[in-house]
Amino acid sequence: MKAENTIDMNAYFAGGCFWCITEPFYDIDGVIKVESGFSGGDEINPNYEDVKAQKTSHRETIKVIYDESKVDYKTLLDTFLNHVDLTDDGGQFIDRGFSYTLAIFYNNVDEEKIIRKTIKEIENKYNIKACVSVLPFKNFYIADEYHQDYFKKNKEEYLKEMIESGRRKNIQN
C-alpha cells in the first residue's frame, strides 16, 4: 500500500513498437500501470493508423505510471535501455520509420540529467553512438483499448511478434 503523501509519477519512452516494450515494466515493483500511446508530435489526437504510416510527427510511446516511493526513475530508464537497440537510427528491429525511432521524454531537469549521464556511460562503455532523442515531454495521447496490455490479451500473437521482430530469439514463457 502506498503512503498517503506519495505521488504517482510518469515516465515516457518511445522504443519502437509499443506492444513490444510494455511487458518488462510490469516485473518492476512500484510500476502501477503502463499505457500505450503516442507522444512528441504536434498533431492533436493522432490515431494508430496515421502514426504507423508515418503521417504524423509522433512516436509510438509508453507511459509508465509508477510509485516513486518504490522505484526510481533510473531503474525505469535502465529497463527501457535494456530492451531496445540503441544503435538503430531507423526504427527498432522490423519496425521502420520515424514513429518507431527511440526517444526519451523527460519531465524535468533531474530526469534529463539522469538520461544524458546514463546514455553517455553506455556510449563510453560499449564505444557506440546512441541513436536516441532526449526531448522535453509535451504531450501523450493514449492509443485505443486494443493496444493496451497487448502482451496480456494476445499472448500468442505477442510472442510471435517478439520472435519475428528479432527482439526475442525464442519463446520464453
> Would you name the residues annotated as active-site residues?
17
The CA distance from 118 to 13, in Å, is 15
| Closest of 61, 55, 35, 132 to residue 97, by C-alpha | 55
CB atoms within 10 A of CB 56: 19
Cell numbers standing for residue 69? 516511493
Which residue type, as a one-letter code, is found at position 121? E
Q: Is the dihedral of CA 154, 142, 103, 82 positive or negative?
A: negative
